[in-house]
């Protein structure tokens, strides 16, 4: 099983490729809000959720679709580890 840092790196790589089009001129920090920084919009969050569900073989309930679980690398890694 991946540790928190490995999860952060995998998710960051996905975000950089799919939402930032490979542009890392303004790097994502572990506590940066994807939405506040304008990296991901509401449609992008749905794409990110699909990626997470497929990559980590987990299912997210509607009540789990909150910023506290999804809106930063730190939040996502904690959440994914809690689902494993």
Domain boundaries, the chain: 4-83
Confidence of residue 32 (pLDDT cuts 50, 70, 90): very high
Predicted local confidence at residue 78, as pLDDT: 96
DSSP-derived letter for residue 27 is: P
User: In the predicted model, what is the mean pLDDT of residues 5-18?
Assistant: 96
Q: Is the pLDDT of residue 12 over 90?
A: yes
Better-scored residue on pLDDT, 1 or 47:
47
Q: Is the pLDDT of residue 5 over 90?
A: yes
Q: Is 4-83 a CATH 1.10.1200.10 domain?
A: yes
Better-scored residue on pLDDT, 39 or 1:
39
The string of DSSP letters for 28-84 reads PPTT--TTTTTS--HHHHHHHHHHHHHHHT----GGG-SHHHHSSHHHHHHHHHHH-
DSSP-derived letter for residue 1 is: -
Predicted local confidence at residue 8, as pLDDT: 97
Confidence of residue 17 (pLDDT cuts 50, 70, 90): very high
């Amino acid at each position: 099983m991946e540790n928190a840092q490995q999860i952060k790196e995998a998710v960051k790589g996905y975000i950089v490729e799919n939402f930032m089009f490979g542009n890392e001129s303004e790097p994502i920090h572990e506590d940066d809000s994807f939405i506040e920084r304008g990296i991901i919009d509401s449609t992008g969050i749905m794409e990110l959720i699909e990626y997470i569900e497929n990559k980590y073989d987990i299912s997210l309930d509607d009540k789990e679709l909150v910023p506290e679980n999804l809106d930063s690398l730190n939040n996502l890694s904690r959440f994914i580890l809690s689902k494993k």
